[in-house]
Structure 1
Amino acid sequence: MHRTGNRFSVNAMSAISTKGRMHFTVFTESFDAKVMCRFLDRLVGHFAHKVHLVVDRHSAHRSKRVRAWLTDHKDEVELHFLPSYAPELNPDELVNADLKRSLPHTHRARNQAELAAETRRFFHRRQRQPHIVRGYFGGRQVRYVTDE
């Protein structure tokens, strides 16, 4: 397989629910508080009720900027933190693994724009497959109860 030798990447963040809903963003900059706040702004626009997010302890999730944003939106969003190192409790880790498995192996992206487009296609496909999204919560260690 021919490759360009160039290295490039994209980042993605998603929020999933036990009901099979998925919200996501794909971005090229580093994940930081600004990106997190932008995602939270988009996320709250999709719900008429308070959103409870279970997140890991990434520094962006705990930053002053995000805490200030949360204070201003306390009736719209609340973060709940996982233990310090518990990837097995985070169903979004299964989303990441699924994404990596699902990217085409026969055609490698030649540039960042192609990789971003492939990543978005994956997330759009999963949004239309709520049974798969619900399955991310089915692991032996992952147990969440909600009434979304």
Structure 2
Amino acid sequence: MTLHFLPGYAPDLNPDELVWSHVKRTGVARRPLQSGEKMGLRIHEQLAEIGRNPRLVRSFFGHPSVSYITDL
């Protein structure tokens, strides 16, 4: 196991930010909410869909900005 010390604020080094960027680019922000629709539920559904796609999840960790995660 390797411990990586990161700056206090480094969104470009955080794979979570890549997930949120994907959500904004492909889902929630692309279509307005329908009458009575809840944003939280839509986001939860989209995150669950991402979680069922192993190839997509791996792609977040393969991004050059977070390659430190998989360095051996």
**Structure 1 length-normalised TM:** 0.38
Higher helix proportion: 2
Mapping of residues 1-148 of structure 1, within 5 Å: 82-101=6-25, 102-103=27-28, 105-106=30-31, 108-109=32-33, 114-143=38-67, 144-145=69-70
Deviation at 1:145, TM superposition (A): 2.7
Q: Which has the larger radius of gyration?
A: 1
The residue identity in structure 1 corresponding to 2:30 is H
User: Can you give the 5+ residue segments of structure 2 that lack an aligned partner in the other structure?
Assistant: none
- Among all aligned residue pairs of Structure 1 and Structure 2, give the percentage whose two residues are the same amino acid: 35
Q: How many residues align?
A: 66
Q: CA RMSD in A?
A: 2.6
**Structure 2 length-normalised TM:** 0.71
User: Can you give the 5+ residue segments of structure 1 that lack an aligned partner in the other structure?
Assistant: 1-79
Tell me, what secondary structure is at the counterpart of 1:142? helix
